[in-house]
Structure 1
Amino acid sequence: MIAGVLKEQPGENRVSLVPDIVKQLGKQGVTVWIEEDAGARAFYPDSTYIQAGAVIKPATAIIQEADIILSIQAPQRTLWEMVPPGKILAGIYQPLYNTGLMEQWASRQLTTFSLDTVPRTTRAQSMDVLSSQANIAGYKAVLLAATSYSRYFPMFMTAAGSIAPAKVLILGAGVAGLQAIATARRLGAVVEVFDTRPAVKEEVMSLGARFIDVEGAADVSAAGGYAVEQTTEYQRRQQEKIAASIAKADIVITTAQIPGKKAPLLVTKEMLETMRPGSVIVDLAASSGGNTAWTKNNETVQQQGVTIIGDSNLPSSMPADASKLYAKNIFNFLQLLIKDGEPVLNFSDDIVKGACITHSGAITYERLQQADKMKI
């Protein structure tokens, strides 16, 4: 069996497999073909792949001959149009936001696995790319805020006077939010946190942050770690609480997303007007519309003296470790698809079934099927 790794498009610095994982796959009878310089932006040169047993091949050869084609983002159209029917593609394809592309891949008889749809169960934790990459995003968001902020993070007491610690507000206590809390606290900031899930309060407080309670939240137990739509009354109370905290905050980090829908608007015009000049907002939901009205993905904008950083791909800014973690996720997932060195698709496995988006000419992902029915 051949697993092929494509070089990512400009703007994506990660790579699907790192040399250590290539070596482990080789022990299982899997040959890895990798496109030239595929790992260069993640600081894994071709020589390290060759030493691990990989073969450097052009993208066209990988597309046409590899049994499983790996790319974090979707390959460019000129490449995927050359993929022969029956091939397997695996990456992070965000099917609920890229429905048209998934339909095209289904029509081409491609089998597609999107690891961002792996069920978030205990058994699947080692394959959870959302968690491994969100951890990096939360960490980097705080560092990005710190370098963009015009003041110190920690409290300082000097002969020239005292500096109060920065006040950080984190909206969303998922994996990214929790890592952001820990990082901001390590830098000496005072941290407040809002989340619609009361169950995360204990985790938030254990990290040294204050949890903002809002009563009446909708049940999110089946949402896979994402936000869900809330009632109008809850949204009113939520905005009142958030507004009070934003007025005191120097740094705001927002993380709330709802799969397949526009990100909820959490920071309104009125809230922004209460923030002092020099404050910073880092919006990790930028790719799905953002949690502020001014967020632009992959851009930094100024609004009334507040810096708003929209970046939904912060893991790409730490490509070496992000690739290492992602490659381990991929390796663990491939264990479900490989038997005796050959691809075997066992759709009775809930993880394989849950991550499969297209197969045998059809959309197989249930949430995408439901979205299509709602259009009719």
Structure 2
Amino acid sequence: MPRLLIPKETAPGETRVSATPETVKKFVAMGCNVAMEMNAGLDAGFVDSTYAAVGCQLVAPQDQAAWKEADAVLCVQTPTEDSLSLLKPGALLVGLLAPYSNVALSSVVQSHELSAIALELLPRISRAQAADALSSQANIAGYKAVLLAAAQLDRYFPMLMTAAGTVQPAKVVVLGAGVAGLQAVATARRLGAVVYVSDIRPAVKEQVESLGARFIDPPQLEEKPAESGGYANEASQTFLAAQRQQLSDQLAEADVAICTAQVPGKRAPRLISEDMLDRMRPGSVVIDLAVSQGGNSACTDPAKTVDRKGVKLIGASELPCSVANHASSLYARNLLALLKPLIKDGQLFLNLDDELIAGCLISKEGKILSPDVLNPGGAI
């Protein structure tokens, strides 16, 4: 039977866990032997006793025997190189592995002949929706970004009619209408803000307007970016320059800007320049969810709040960790949905003819399957 290991996350600030008692119970029912490092779920609100009650074996953190015996390691972020070096040849690593820039992982999977699945590369096809970890986590990020902005803003979000007069609603501009952007729209509207959305894809206009927001039509150029595989394509510099000019006037009147625009494997497009920030009023807030990929806004830093001439610039790339319980629950279900078809007759099979697996399997027994990933010279 497959031996699955759930490690305690070691990345700074990471509070999520890759399995919950709910998913462990289902893995055990499928014939898996599940081991978990003690207190791995504590930061997400799951105690060891609840795992033990559903058949999970609890082991000490960095227990070498558990790592050496594992057929698959289910993680959120990449474990340490020392831990990965303990795995046997052919063992499978599954998680959010930062495939375009993880140089250390590239070395260890090759030297120890490991297989690895990066959930970031899961194809955007209907059959993969239940396993789409990027979407489940982006949904949380979009929701929490609005709450963070509301807490930092010097104004109310909704319109209020009081004895002292009427308070006008906040104006929120959302850059990018992907999963995070649409959730940000929905949350900001629930709080009563007036919301505008900018996206390079005219096709998302209907989704934006169905949530009660106003769509900022893209610049009218011959070359218009679209999307492929469910992801936005990278726009040209000419298009981005025209879009920035259009955004500048919107941001000058905005109270909040929420930046969500990202392109897999590329640096995030720079949509807000310093000149545009200069036009924003003191007291306004910029939340940059793309900061770990270079940022949509100038002057943002990961996990930091920068006060620039009274404008608060918040680099917020790890917001799912601030909602660790639900983030872990959704992420664990994503992993279960992905792995369930791979476990047959008490064995774990990687079917390369399956487009879902072929799309996100970045190494097979030490062989790197795509030159675009685990690349030391990558774009990010």
Regarding TM over 0.5, the answer is: yes
Identity %: 47
Q: Specify the alignment match of 1:225 in structure 2.
A: 231
**1:197 matched to 2:209:** no
Deviation at 1:77, TM superposition (A): 2.1
Q: Specify the alignment match of 1:8 in structure 2.
A: 9
Out of 296, 299, 314, the position equivalent to 1:291 is 296
Q: Specify the alignment match of 1:321 in structure 2.
A: 326
Deviation at 1:26, TM superposition (A): 1.1
The DSSP-based 3-state class of the residue aligned with 1:335 is helix
The DSSP-based 3-state class of the residue aligned with 2:373 is helix
Q: Specify the alignment match of 1:135 in structure 2.
A: 139
Out of 167, 176, 180, the position equivalent to 2:184 is 180
Q: Specify the alignment match of 1:263 in structure 2.
A: 268
Out of 210, 214, 237, the position equivalent to 2:214 is 210
Residue type of the partner of 1:180? A
Deviation at 1:223, TM superposition (A): 5.1
Deviation at 1:47, TM superposition (A): 0.7
1:227-259 per-position Cα deviation (integer Å, ceiling 9, x unaligned):
x33233322220111111100110000011122
Q: Specify the alignment match of 1:73 in structure 2.
A: 77
The runs of 5 or more residues in structure 1 that have no matched partner are none
Structure 2 distance, partners of 1:188, 1:131, is: 25
**1:106 matched to 2:110:** yes
**1:248 matched to 2:230:** no
Structure 2 distance, partners of 1:225, 1:77, is: 31
Residue 354 of structure 1 contacts residue 365 of structure 1 at CA under 8 Å; is this kept in 2?
no
The DSSP-based 3-state class of the residue aligned with 2:228 is coil
Residue type of the partner of 1:34? M
Residue type of the partner of 2:4? A
Q: Specify the alignment match of 1:61 in structure 2.
A: 65
Structure 2 distance, partners of 1:354, 1:62, is: 29
Deviation at 1:224, TM superposition (A): 3.3
Describe how 1:114-153 pairs up with structure 2 within 5 A.
114-153=118-157
Structure 1 distance, partners of 2:113, 2:282, is: 54
Out of 339, 342, 346, the position equivalent to 2:344 is 339
Residue 124 of structure 2 contacts residue 229 of structure 2 at CA under 8 Å; is this kept in 1?
no
Structure 2 distance, partners of 1:205, 1:374, is: 37
Structure 2 distance, partners of 1:62, 1:282, is: 41
Structure 1 distance, partners of 2:47, 2:79, is: 21
The DSSP-based 3-state class of the residue aligned with 1:318 is helix
Residue 102 of structure 1 contacts residue 357 of structure 1 at CA under 8 Å; is this kept in 2?
no
Residue type of the partner of 2:224? A
Residue type of the partner of 2:33? T
Deviation at 1:260, TM superposition (A): 2.0
Deviation at 1:373, TM superposition (A): 9.7
Deviating more after overlay: 360-369 vs 271-280: 360-369
Deviation at 1:98, TM superposition (A): 1.6
Describe how 1:344-359 pairs up with structure 2 within 5 A.
344-359=349-364
Residue 240 of structure 2 contacts residue 271 of structure 2 at CA under 8 Å; is this kept in 1?
no
Q: Specify the alignment match of 1:171 in structure 2.
A: 175
Structure 2 distance, partners of 1:269, 1:255, is: 18
Residue 6 of structure 1 contacts residue 62 of structure 1 at CA under 8 Å; is this kept in 2?
no
Describe how 1:10-89 pairs up with structure 2 within 5 A.
10-58=12-60, 59=62, 60-89=64-93
Give the total of aligned pairs. 373
Deviating more after overlay: 55-64 vs 70-79: 55-64
Structure 1 distance, partners of 2:146, 2:345, is: 44
Deviating more after overlay: 164-173 vs 231-240: 231-240
Structure 2 distance, partners of 1:372, 1:15, is: 28
TM-score (norm: length of structure 2): 0.94
Structure 1 distance, partners of 2:32, 2:377, is: 39
Structure 1 distance, partners of 2:321, 2:264, is: 21
Residue 81 of structure 2 contacts residue 108 of structure 2 at CA under 8 Å; is this kept in 1?
no
Residue 103 of structure 1 contacts residue 363 of structure 1 at CA under 8 Å; is this kept in 2?
no
The DSSP-based 3-state class of the residue aligned with 1:169 is strand
Residue 5 of structure 1 contacts residue 62 of structure 1 at CA under 8 Å; is this kept in 2?
no
Structure 1 distance, partners of 2:108, 2:48, is: 32
Distance 1:169 1:24, change over 3 A: same
1:162-208 per-position Cα deviation (integer Å, ceiling 9, x unaligned):
21100000000000000000000000000000001111000000000
Give me the CA root mean square deviation: 1.7
Structure 2 distance, partners of 1:198, 1:63, is: 48
Residue 100 of structure 2 contacts residue 378 of structure 2 at CA under 8 Å; is this kept in 1?
no
Deviation at 1:125, TM superposition (A): 0.7
Residue 156 of structure 1 contacts residue 163 of structure 1 at CA under 8 Å; is this kept in 2?
yes
The DSSP-based 3-state class of the residue aligned with 2:126 is coil
Deviation at 1:345, TM superposition (A): 1.4
Deviation at 1:336, TM superposition (A): 2.8
Structure 1 distance, partners of 2:206, 2:59, is: 50
